[in-house]
Amino acid sequence: MFAYRLFRSGLLGSLLIVSANFFPAAAQMAAGESGFGPVVRAYLGYLKNEQEVVDDRASRHEVSVSYYRRNSNRIRALRQMAVQIARESQNDYLPELEAVAGDEFGLLFERPPRFQTLKIGEVVQTNFRYLGAAHTGETFYVFARLDPYEQSELIQKVSNNAVSATGSPVSGPAAATKVSTRARRVVPR
């Protein structure tokens, strides 16, 4: 009944306009997300839910302040990169994204690369493509996990380049990334 009276008197509309002026970032965010397709909106919704979980755990004092800060910053970095990819590509597709701080490279890589030498677009250890750094309170390095088709193409290209024209193996980084395969078993008949 109260909402009906507000609506009839025009106060509800005024209230909505005033609240949009007080919370322009939220209004912009909601308006900006409507331009994305269902896949990108679903990913952004997933990140929003992840932030709510982190907020809830922090409100119950289940996590430390540093854990809360780092994970909130990571979620913002992922969101920032997802929006950037969606806007640049004008496509409703996002790769699987991973964001790591400088001291977390060992979580993604067996032999962590030096983050100071990474170049945007560079493929790291045939599994990840470096997308760039996101500065959200701290610096996160964002990677896209290559899909299996991209990985197999890359492995095939590396193994083809690992053998020189004379047939002798090439030494160096190309040879180090060559995939070893087991010889096929021959069964006598």
pLDDT top residue among 80 and 10: 80
Residue 28 has pLDDT above 80, yes or no: no
Q: In this predicted model, what pLDDT tens digit does every residue of 39-60 receive, in sequence order? A: 999 999 999 999 999 999 999 9
Number of H helices, E strands in the chain: 8, 4
* Rounded CA separation 101/74 (Å): 8
**Residue 84 pLDDT class (50, 70, 90 cuts):** very high
Token pair 């004008």 is found at 90
For residue 133, what are the β-bridge partners?
Answer: 141
Return mean pLDDT, the chain: 75
Which pLDDT belongs to residue 155?
76
Token pair 């290559």 is found at 146
* Average pLDDT of span 94-106: 93
**Alpha-carbon distance values, 23 to 13, 16, 27, 72, 137 (Å):** 15, 10, 6, 20, 22
